[in-house]
Protein backbone atom coordinates (compact mmCIF):
# COMPACT_ATOMS: atom_id res chain seq x y z
CA UNK A 1 0.00 0.00 0.00
CA UNK A 2 1.32 3.42 -1.01
CA UNK A 3 1.73 5.97 1.79
CA UNK A 4 1.99 9.73 1.32
CA UNK A 5 2.19 12.31 4.11
CA UNK A 6 1.60 16.01 3.45
CA UNK A 7 2.56 18.50 6.16
CA UNK A 8 0.28 21.51 5.65
CA UNK A 9 -0.98 23.65 8.52
CA UNK A 10 -3.65 25.18 6.29
CA UNK A 11 -5.47 21.88 5.72
CA UNK A 12 -7.77 19.95 8.02
CA UNK A 13 -5.89 17.02 9.52
CA UNK A 14 -7.29 13.84 8.01
CA UNK A 15 -6.32 10.35 6.94
CA UNK A 16 -7.75 9.03 3.67
CA UNK A 17 -7.35 5.39 2.72
CA UNK A 18 -8.18 3.99 -0.70
CA UNK A 19 -8.29 0.20 -0.49
CA UNK A 20 -9.78 -2.74 -2.35
CA UNK A 21 -11.06 -4.25 0.88
CA UNK A 22 -10.93 -3.73 4.65
CA UNK A 23 -7.86 -5.56 5.90
CA UNK A 24 -6.50 -6.02 9.45
CA UNK A 25 -3.97 -3.29 8.67
CA UNK A 26 -6.76 -0.83 7.82
CA UNK A 27 -8.67 -1.85 10.96
CA UNK A 28 -5.54 -1.29 13.03
CA UNK A 29 -5.03 2.16 11.50
CA UNK A 30 -8.71 2.95 12.11
CA UNK A 31 -8.44 1.91 15.74
CA UNK A 32 -5.21 3.84 16.24
CA UNK A 33 -6.75 7.02 14.82
CA UNK A 34 -9.91 6.67 16.89
CA UNK A 35 -7.84 6.15 20.03
CA UNK A 36 -5.88 9.34 19.32
CA UNK A 37 -8.83 11.57 18.49
CA UNK A 38 -9.79 14.15 21.07
CA UNK A 39 -13.16 12.91 22.29
CA UNK A 40 -15.83 14.73 24.23
CA UNK A 41 -18.71 12.93 25.88
CA UNK A 42 -21.98 14.58 24.98
CA UNK A 43 -25.36 13.91 26.55
CA UNK A 44 -28.65 14.07 24.69
CA UNK A 45 -31.95 12.53 25.80
CA UNK A 46 -30.11 10.75 28.69
CA UNK A 47 -27.83 9.05 26.18
CA UNK A 48 -24.09 9.59 26.25
CA UNK A 49 -22.44 9.94 22.86
CA UNK A 50 -18.74 10.12 21.91
CA UNK A 51 -18.11 13.27 19.93
CA UNK A 52 -15.02 13.59 17.77
CA UNK A 53 -13.51 17.03 17.98
CA UNK A 54 -13.64 17.41 14.20
CA UNK A 55 -17.44 17.12 14.14
CA UNK A 56 -17.99 19.88 16.71
CA UNK A 57 -18.95 23.29 15.30
CA UNK A 58 -18.81 25.20 18.56
CA UNK A 59 -19.04 24.98 22.33
CA UNK A 60 -21.43 27.36 24.05
CA UNK A 61 -22.56 28.21 27.55
CA UNK A 62 -26.32 28.47 27.89
CA UNK A 63 -28.02 28.77 31.29
CA UNK A 64 -24.72 27.82 32.98
CA UNK A 65 -24.52 24.56 31.01
CA UNK A 66 -21.99 23.68 28.34
CA UNK A 67 -23.23 22.50 24.97
CA UNK A 68 -21.45 21.20 21.90
CA UNK A 69 -23.11 21.88 18.55
CA UNK A 70 -22.58 19.38 15.76
CA UNK A 71 -24.01 19.44 12.21
CA UNK A 72 -27.55 18.75 13.35
CA UNK A 73 -27.49 18.10 17.09
CA UNK A 74 -26.76 19.83 20.37
CA UNK A 75 -25.19 17.86 23.22
CA UNK A 76 -24.68 18.82 26.83
CA UNK A 77 -21.18 18.36 28.24
CA UNK A 78 -20.45 17.76 31.91
CA UNK A 79 -17.45 20.03 32.13
CA UNK A 80 -16.50 23.71 32.26
CA UNK A 81 -15.75 25.91 29.26
CA UNK A 82 -12.20 26.72 30.37
CA UNK A 83 -11.49 22.99 30.68
CA UNK A 84 -12.81 22.44 27.16
CA UNK A 85 -10.62 25.30 25.93
CA UNK A 86 -7.50 23.67 27.41
CA UNK A 87 -8.05 20.59 25.27
CA UNK A 88 -8.61 22.37 21.98
CA UNK A 89 -6.15 22.93 19.15
CA UNK A 90 -5.56 25.68 16.61
CA UNK A 91 -8.87 25.12 14.83
CA UNK A 92 -10.77 26.51 17.80
CA UNK A 93 -10.96 30.09 19.02
CA UNK A 94 -12.97 31.78 21.74
CA UNK A 95 -15.26 34.26 19.99
CA UNK A 96 -16.99 35.62 23.09
CA UNK A 97 -17.22 34.91 26.79
CA UNK A 98 -19.54 31.95 26.22
CA UNK A 99 -18.61 30.49 22.87
CA UNK A 100 -15.61 28.68 21.41
CA UNK A 101 -15.88 28.25 17.64
CA UNK A 102 -14.36 25.77 15.23
CA UNK A 103 -12.92 28.07 12.54
CA UNK A 104 -13.27 25.37 9.91
CA UNK A 105 -17.01 25.20 10.55
CA UNK A 106 -17.62 28.91 10.10
CA UNK A 107 -19.60 29.67 6.97
CA UNK A 108 -19.12 33.46 7.08
CA UNK A 109 -19.03 36.62 9.16
CA UNK A 110 -21.57 39.39 8.85
CA UNK A 111 -22.28 42.73 10.47
CA UNK A 112 -25.03 42.63 13.04
CA UNK A 113 -27.35 45.63 13.32
CA UNK A 114 -26.36 45.75 16.98
CA UNK A 115 -22.87 46.76 15.93
CA UNK A 116 -21.31 43.39 16.60
CA UNK A 117 -19.76 40.86 14.28
CA UNK A 118 -22.10 37.97 13.65
CA UNK A 119 -20.75 34.45 13.05
CA UNK A 120 -22.78 32.10 10.87
CA UNK A 121 -21.74 28.47 11.16
CA UNK A 122 -22.12 25.90 8.37
CA UNK A 123 -24.93 24.21 10.34
CA UNK A 124 -26.90 27.48 10.47
CA UNK A 125 -26.16 28.21 14.12
CA UNK A 126 -25.23 31.83 14.79
CA UNK A 127 -23.27 33.63 17.48
CA UNK A 128 -21.21 36.81 17.68
CA UNK A 129 -17.61 37.93 18.10
CA UNK A 130 -17.16 40.20 21.09
CA UNK A 131 -14.91 43.26 20.77
CA UNK A 132 -12.54 41.73 23.33
CA UNK A 133 -12.04 38.59 21.22
CA UNK A 134 -12.06 40.22 17.78
CA UNK A 135 -8.31 40.62 17.47
CA UNK A 136 -7.69 36.99 18.46
CA UNK A 137 -10.25 35.77 15.90
CA UNK A 138 -8.67 37.91 13.17
CA UNK A 139 -5.24 36.55 14.05
CA UNK A 140 -6.48 32.97 14.02
CA UNK A 141 -8.05 33.22 10.57
CA UNK A 142 -4.81 34.75 9.29
CA UNK A 143 -5.86 38.36 8.77
CA UNK A 144 -2.61 39.77 10.16
CA UNK A 145 -0.25 37.43 8.28
CA UNK B 1 -35.58 34.89 34.11
CA UNK B 2 -34.60 34.35 30.47
CA UNK B 3 -31.03 34.68 29.20
CA UNK B 4 -31.66 38.05 27.50
CA UNK B 5 -33.04 39.60 30.68
CA UNK B 6 -30.02 38.26 32.60
CA UNK B 7 -27.71 39.65 29.96
CA UNK B 8 -29.52 43.02 30.09
CA UNK B 9 -29.02 43.22 33.87
CA UNK B 10 -25.45 41.95 33.69
CA UNK B 11 -24.31 44.45 31.04
CA UNK B 12 -26.32 47.24 32.58
CA UNK B 13 -24.77 46.77 36.02
CA UNK B 14 -21.23 46.53 34.62
CA UNK B 15 -21.46 49.84 32.77
CA UNK B 16 -23.87 51.78 35.00
CA UNK B 17 -21.03 53.14 37.12
CA UNK B 18 -19.55 54.97 34.14
CA UNK B 19 -22.52 57.37 34.08
CA UNK B 20 -21.71 59.15 37.37
CA UNK B 21 -17.99 59.19 36.43
CA UNK B 22 -18.80 61.02 33.17
CA UNK B 23 -21.08 63.50 34.97
CA UNK B 24 -18.37 64.13 37.60
CA UNK B 25 -15.82 64.88 34.85
CA UNK B 26 -18.26 67.26 33.12
CA UNK B 27 -19.01 69.09 36.38
CA UNK B 28 -15.29 69.36 37.11
CA UNK B 29 -14.68 70.90 33.65
CA UNK B 30 -17.60 73.30 34.15
CA UNK B 31 -16.29 74.31 37.55
CA UNK B 32 -12.83 75.04 36.11
CA UNK B 33 -14.17 77.00 33.15
CA UNK B 34 -17.19 78.90 34.53
CA UNK B 35 -16.60 81.43 37.31
CA UNK B 36 -18.89 80.98 40.33
CA UNK B 37 -20.17 77.65 39.03
CA UNK B 38 -22.07 75.89 41.80
CA UNK B 39 -24.60 73.10 42.22
CA UNK B 40 -27.00 72.19 45.00
CA UNK B 41 -26.93 68.80 46.67
CA UNK B 42 -30.23 67.90 45.01
CA UNK B 43 -28.88 68.75 41.56
CA UNK B 44 -25.82 66.55 42.09
CA UNK B 45 -27.95 63.73 43.50
CA UNK B 46 -30.34 63.87 40.51
CA UNK B 47 -27.48 64.00 38.03
CA UNK B 48 -25.68 61.02 39.60
CA UNK B 49 -28.83 58.88 39.80
CA UNK B 50 -30.04 59.75 36.32
CA UNK B 51 -26.68 59.16 34.63
CA UNK B 52 -26.37 55.85 36.49
CA UNK B 53 -29.76 54.79 35.10
CA UNK B 54 -28.84 56.16 31.66
CA UNK B 55 -25.62 54.15 31.49
CA UNK B 56 -27.44 51.06 32.80
CA UNK B 57 -30.12 51.27 30.11
CA UNK B 58 -27.67 52.18 27.36
CA UNK B 59 -25.50 49.12 28.08
CA UNK B 60 -28.41 46.77 28.78
CA UNK B 61 -30.37 47.77 25.68
CA UNK B 62 -27.60 46.44 23.43
CA UNK B 63 -29.10 43.01 24.17
CA UNK B 64 -32.19 43.85 22.09
CA UNK B 65 -30.21 43.43 18.89
CA UNK B 66 -29.17 39.92 19.85
CA UNK B 67 -32.64 38.50 20.45
CA UNK B 68 -32.80 36.02 17.60
CA UNK B 69 -36.58 35.84 17.24
CA UNK B 70 -36.92 39.64 16.96
CA UNK B 71 -36.83 41.25 13.54
CA UNK B 72 -34.18 43.86 12.82
CA UNK B 73 -36.84 46.59 12.72
CA UNK B 74 -38.26 45.54 16.08
CA UNK B 75 -34.89 45.36 17.83
CA UNK B 76 -33.73 48.69 16.39
CA UNK B 77 -37.04 50.34 17.29
CA UNK B 78 -36.93 49.01 20.88
CA UNK B 79 -33.28 50.04 21.23
CA UNK B 80 -33.96 53.54 19.90
CA UNK B 81 -37.10 54.04 22.02
CA UNK B 82 -35.40 52.84 25.21
CA UNK B 83 -32.37 55.06 24.75
CA UNK B 84 -34.40 58.06 23.53
CA UNK B 85 -36.90 57.83 26.42
CA UNK B 86 -34.13 57.48 28.98
CA UNK B 87 -32.16 60.45 27.63
CA UNK B 88 -35.23 62.68 27.27
CA UNK B 89 -36.47 61.93 30.80
CA UNK B 90 -33.02 62.50 32.31
CA UNK B 91 -32.47 65.74 30.41
CA UNK B 92 -35.87 67.06 31.50
CA UNK B 93 -35.52 65.85 35.08
CA UNK B 94 -32.15 67.59 35.44
CA UNK B 95 -33.30 70.72 33.59
CA UNK B 96 -30.55 70.20 31.02
CA UNK B 97 -33.23 71.12 28.46
CA UNK B 98 -36.37 73.14 29.22
CA UNK B 99 -39.80 71.49 28.96
CA UNK B 100 -40.93 73.35 25.82
CA UNK B 101 -42.40 71.73 22.70
CA UNK B 102 -40.03 73.47 20.26
CA UNK B 103 -36.98 72.50 22.30
CA UNK B 104 -38.20 68.91 22.60
CA UNK B 105 -38.69 68.69 18.83
CA UNK B 106 -35.18 70.04 18.18
CA UNK B 107 -33.74 67.67 20.83
CA UNK B 108 -35.57 64.71 19.23
CA UNK B 109 -34.32 65.60 15.74
CA UNK B 110 -30.71 66.00 16.88
CA UNK B 111 -30.94 62.76 18.87
CA UNK B 112 -32.40 60.82 15.92
CA UNK B 113 -29.83 62.14 13.43
CA UNK B 114 -26.88 61.44 15.76
CA UNK B 115 -28.27 57.99 16.61
CA UNK B 116 -28.48 57.14 12.91
CA UNK B 117 -25.00 58.53 12.10
CA UNK B 118 -23.33 56.61 14.94
CA UNK B 119 -25.24 53.44 14.07
CA UNK B 120 -24.26 53.74 10.37
CA UNK B 121 -20.58 54.35 11.21
CA UNK B 122 -20.40 51.31 13.48
CA UNK B 123 -22.41 49.11 11.11
CA UNK B 124 -20.38 49.92 7.99
CA UNK B 125 -17.03 49.59 9.73
CA UNK B 126 -18.03 46.12 10.96
CA UNK B 127 -19.40 45.26 7.53
CA UNK B 128 -16.00 46.12 6.02
CA UNK B 129 -14.20 44.02 8.66
CA UNK B 130 -16.51 41.06 8.00
CA UNK B 131 -15.77 41.25 4.25
CA UNK B 132 -12.02 41.07 4.90
CA UNK B 133 -12.50 38.14 7.27
CA UNK B 134 -14.73 36.28 4.82
CA UNK B 135 -12.01 36.52 2.17
CA UNK B 136 -9.65 34.76 4.57
CA UNK B 137 -12.21 32.04 5.25
CA UNK B 138 -12.77 31.19 1.59
How far does the CA of residue B135 sit from the closest CA of chain A (Å)? 9
A79 within some domain: yes
Residues of chain B with pLDDT under 70: 1, 68
Mutate to test the interface with B, among A64, A109, A114 (most CBs of B within 10 A): A114
Number of domains in chain A: 1
pLDDT of residue B10: 86
Residues in A touching B126 (Cβ below 8 Å): 111-112, 115-117
In angstroms, what is the C-alpha Rg of chain A?
Answer: 17
Number of domains in chain B: 2
Question: Do the Cβ atoms of A113 and B132 come within 8 Å?
Answer: no
Helix (H) or strand (E) holding A51: strand A47-52
pLDDT of residue B5: 83
For residue B11, give its domain range. Answer: 3-96
Nearest to B137 among A62, A106, A126 (CB): A106
Residue B22 and residue B45 share a domain: yes
Q: Which ipTM was obtained for this model?
A: 0.71
pLDDT of residue B69: 74
Nearest to A108 among B68, B124, B137 (CB): B137
In angstroms, what is the C-alpha Rg of chain B?
Answer: 18
Residue B43 and residue B16 share a domain: yes
- Specify the CATH number for the domain of residue A35: 2.40.50.1020
Residue by residue, DSSP assigns B28-91 as: HHHHHHSTT----HHHHHHHHHHHHHHHHHHHHGGGGGG-TTS-HHHHHHHHHHHHHHHHHHHH
Q: Are B63 and B4 in contact (CB under 8 A)?
A: yes
Global confidence as pTM: 0.65
Nearest to B122 among A115, A128, A143 (CB): A115
Per-residue pLDDT of chain A (145 residues; tens, 9 = 90+): 888 899 987 776 778 899 999 899 998 888 887 777 778 899 999 899 989 888 999 999 998 899 999 999 999 999 999 999 988 888 899 999 889 999 999 999 998 776 789 999 999 999 989 888 999 999 988 877 6
A15 within some domain: no
Give CA–CA dist B94/B46, Å, rounded: 7
How far does the CA of residue B31 sit from the closest CA of chain A (Å)? 35
Residues in B touching A126 (Cβ below 8 Å): 68
Amino acid sequence: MKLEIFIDKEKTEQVLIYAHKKTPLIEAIEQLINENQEIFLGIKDRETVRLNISEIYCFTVEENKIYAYTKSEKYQLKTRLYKVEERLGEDFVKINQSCIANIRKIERFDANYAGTLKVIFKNGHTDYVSRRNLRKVKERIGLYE
Amino acid sequence: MNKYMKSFLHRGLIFAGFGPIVVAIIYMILEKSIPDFSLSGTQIFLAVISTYILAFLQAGASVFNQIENWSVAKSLFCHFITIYSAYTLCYLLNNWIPFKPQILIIFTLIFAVLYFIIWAMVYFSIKAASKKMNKKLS
